Chain A
Amino acid sequence: MTLSRILSAGALAFALGTTALTGAASAQDATLDLVGPLAQYKIYVAENTAELVANTRAFVEAIKTGDLEGAKALFAPTRTSYEAVEPIAELFSDLDVAIDARADDYEHAEEDPAFVGFHRIEYGLWVEGTTEGLEDYADKLMADVIDLNNRINALTFPPEVVVGGAAVLMEEVAATKISGEEDRYSHTDLWDFEANFAGSKVIFDLMRPLIEDDDPAFVAQVEANFQAVDDILAQYETADGGYVSYLELTDADRTVLSAKVNSLAEDLATLRARLGLG
């Protein structure tokens, strides 16, 4: 699944390769130049949310049939298609909270009745060690994911949100992921990392033809940082394409990841301006 997302992103970038190569001189030009990349990105997001619906269905099914191990195995791979498109998904803040909020977003943490979604289920599966009592959370997650898919399909993507999304994903990693607090019960954080990076890289790759003539050094630096992240994450991949526990990430690798994420966040924060967007 991870592989298919990367391949499809690569194919999109390739398809776009010969289209717009001119720099963004004015906002109007920029908007015109962005039509192709935005359309491609919309397809990418639609693929991911469709995948999210399908995978959530299997995840929910496992929970409701009491298949604890099956549900645990599906938790991380189901989340990745959400994490990859988070800049768009979080435009619907009600659903983002319902789907992806963490216990410390609530005053009473895990005991808070408002705490629902992926991480509430994660808590049940790993800490409480049972699927019992998770059925309602599972049903609600399914409904919310379907709602999200429908709303995203009906959405006109604002260019500044898409372009800014490349940096937003890095801010997400820098602020809450690098510490391992996102998937604190399952320690599947590296799956989320990879999805966040892949989601950011897709946006960058789609925009690259519009900026690389103006500033090849910038493009090279961003690509080198993405590559450094890939190289580190590759060391933690498992044979089946997943990732080992976050607890196995060494301090040294976490430090390098942190520096690369911060560097990418700084660089990608200039992407909107480079494309003439306010």
Chain B
Amino acid sequence: MTGRRQLLAGLGGAGGALAVAGRPGWADEDAAGRQVADAPTGHADAAESVPFYGPHQAGIVTPRPANGIVAACDVVAGTPDELERMFRTLTQRLAFLTRGGIPPELDPRLPPSDSGILGPVIPPDNLTVTVGLGASLFERLPWLLPHMPRRLQRMTQFPNDALDRELCHGDMSLQFCANLQDTNIHALRDIMKTLAGFLVLRWVQEGDVPVIPPNPDGTTESARNFLGFRDGSANPDSNDAGLMADIVWIDGRNDEPSWVHGGTYQAVRIIRNFVERWDRTPLSEQEAIFGRRKASGAPFDGETESDVPDYTRDPAGTVTPLDAHIRLANPRTPQSRENLMLRRPFNYSNGVTRAGQLDQGLLFITYQADLEKGFIAVQTRLNGEPLEEYIKPVGGGYFVVLPGVRDAGDYLGRSLVEAVRSTPTPPT
């Protein structure tokens, strides 16, 4: 061993090989002895996990970790049996990935059972994978069509949209959330490998949210989007189970097939931000467009981000313009309460456009019990808002999120498969 170290030192000169041998001369310069090739430290949450089993899927009202991916796929399954097999396989993978563990070791002449990108022991790392179904799946399979939830529909183009067909729709959405993006990527690769015969990817969008440590008094702030504004200030409290039952979860009050009770609607939008142009816009105009102070996130009649604007005292919009983003999105009237939804967005950065501009934006994700009263109504109110000059939705889709997996004997989509099986076969 000594001989090998000496050899390395002799070959490596002042380069990396010396570090392997312990860098005897430099140790006191950096107490940790760390160098470029070492993996970054400071991520202590890898052992944390989010429970996979429950009445609802995780990744909706559970806290949003720093990284997310939405992947949309098409599903190749022609019969209820194939659909069930796909759901069972998917459930099995997700139960493992979200709990973590050691993947099986195979004969080295075979491809390994796991990509290995998280090492030999897979940490849960707060991974959640949330599964939704798109209208196209129900519409393509005659035996599934009678069970399509009533508000599920194909995303339509809003006036300011410039939809790219390669970034839209899908039979299935998979929302991955985890502390590290590698954990999401690992899960995505695992699913695409183990369900290769069932799922074909259509589009994938990665995103992240900046990590902000809690204030000394324990309060937390909303993360900022790529326009520099806090995003999520007015989000309903996801820890309030009653509120979530009203806003997010589909139940007997929603006039929907009973198989989908416990599920929710997911709207995904890939919203490009014209950041160069935004950065050249006066601060006062930026704030008027949003209806909040940029630095604090406070509404114009408040001091802090959490203050609630009182529009009843400002009917003419002299304090907060009537077409400000937050005022159109949530006018805070008794009638607009039914339009509330839970937002769970991530920022994305996709490199550069053909024009040499930064391709950045928001991977916008909302959850609501009623898609039409939630996202569609809110977006319709926002049509024509001044912010449109700086944003361009280019992709996304609408999905119905399946109810949760109750325990190890249950599987994702069971209630749907059972509903299909209990329906007489329609004449062909």
Contact = CB atoms under 8 A, between A and B. Distances in A.
B110 A263 contact: no
Contact of A273 (B110, B192, B198, B199): B110
B199 A259 contact: yes
B74 interface: yes
Given A259-B76, A259-B197, A252 B140 contact: yes
Given A255-B76, A256-B76, A259-B76, A273 B196 contact: no
A278 B74 CA distance: 35
A79 interface: no
A273 B110 CA distance: 5
B89 to A, nearest CB: 12
Contact of A262 (B74, B107, B111, B196): B196
Given A255-B74, A255-B76, A256-B76, A262 B109 contact: no
Nearest to A221: B197
A277 B192 CA distance: 26
Interface string B197-224: 1111000000000000000000000000
Interface in A251-276: 252, 255-256, 258-260, 262-263, 265-266, 269-270, 272-273, 276
A225 interface: yes
Interface string B85-124: 0000000000000000000000101110000000000000
B229 to A, nearest CB: 38
Contacts of A255: 74, 76, 200
Nearest to B196: A262
Given A260-B197, A263-B196, A266-B196, 8 more contacts: A225-B197, A258-B200, A259-B198, A262-B197, A266-B197, A270-B111, A273-B110, A278-B109
Given A255-B74, A258-B200, A259-B200, A270 B110 contact: yes
Nearest to B165: A251
Nearest to A174: B196
B266 to A, nearest CB: 21
Contacts of B199: 259
27 contacts: A225-B197, A252-B140, A255-B74, A255-B76, A255-B200, A256-B76, A259-B196, A259-B197, A259-B199, A260-B76, A260-B197, A262-B192, A262-B196, A262-B200, A263-B196, A263-B197, A265-B196, A266-B193, A266-B196, A266-B197, A270-B110, A272-B109, A273-B107, A273-B109, A273-B110, A276-B109, A278-B109
A96 B200 CA distance: 29
Nearest to B199: A259
Interface in B185-199: 192-193, 196-199
A246 B107 CA distance: 40
Nearest to B198: A259
B111 A269 contact: yes
Contacts of B197: 225, 259-260, 262-263, 266
Nearest to A261: B196
Nearest to B201: A258
Contacts of A252: 140
A265 B111 CA distance: 12
B354 to A, nearest CB: 15
6 closest residue pairs by CB, A with B: A263-B197, A273-B109, A259-B76, A262-B196, A273-B110, A258-B200
Interface string A42-66: 0000000000000000000000000
Most chain A beta-carbon contacts within 10 A, residue among B111, B196, B198: B196
A259 B192 CA distance: 10
A212 B274 CA distance: 58
Contacts of B192: 262
Nearest to B107: A273
Nearest to A266: B196
A270 B111 CA distance: 7
Contact of A277 (B76, B109, B196, B200): B109
Contacts of B200: 255, 258-259, 262
A221 to B, nearest CB: 8
A257 B137 CA distance: 17
Nearest to B77: A259
Interface string B259-302: 00000000000000000000000000000000000000000000
Most chain B beta-carbon contacts within 10 A, residue among A262, A263, A276: A262
Interface string A220-262: 0000010000000000000000000000000010011011101
A141 to B, nearest CB: 34
Most chain A beta-carbon contacts within 10 A, residue among B74, B193, B198, B200: B200
A265 B197 CA distance: 10
B172 to A, nearest CB: 12
Contacts of A262: 192, 196-197, 200
Nearest to B193: A266
Contacts of A256: 76
Interface in A128-150: none
Nearest to A276: B109
Nearest to A263: B197
Nearest to A27: B109
A23 B241 CA distance: 59
Nearest to B197: A263
A269 B107 CA distance: 13
A225 B74 CA distance: 18
Interface in B383-405: none
A256 B74 CA distance: 9
A265 B200 CA distance: 14
Interface in A77-94: none
Contacts of A273: 107, 109-110
A276 B109 CA distance: 8
B228 to A, nearest CB: 37
A277 B111 CA distance: 12
